[in-house]
Amino acid sequence: MTDDHQLNAVLAHSLLGTVAAIKGAIETVLAHQLDTSTQNSLLMMARRRLDFLREQLRDLALGLPDEVLTFLDDLRNDRALPETSPSD
């Protein structure tokens, strides 16, 4: 896999997790007779996750956020380091 494909996989995984959380909250509200407080709590969580998703997609459309670049650089550096034994 090229670096672009690996990066796309990391971003897609993050975004899919967010979508799953939103979907789960909405499905729970629709499928169960919940008290108003619980419904509101789940819907507010879904709303916050949608805001996060919107920001991530906006950043993706504009280019990669600095924290993603830093994270990927750290991953590459960690993989490049030789493994050491406990006695080192």
Q: Where are the domains of the chain?
A: 10-78
* Digit-coded pLDDT (tens) for 55-64: 888 777 777 7
Task: Examine the pLDDT at 6 and tell me if it is beyond 70.
Answer: yes
* Digit-coded pLDDT (tens) for 18-49: 999 999 999 999 999 999 999 999 999 999 99
The pLDDT confidence band at residue 75, using thresholds 50, 70 and 90, is confident
Long-range contact pairs involving 49-52 (C-beta distance under 8 Å, separation at least 24): 49/18, 49/21, 49/22, 49/25, 50/22, 52/18
Give CA 79 to chain center in angstroms.
22
The structure's pTM equals: 0.64
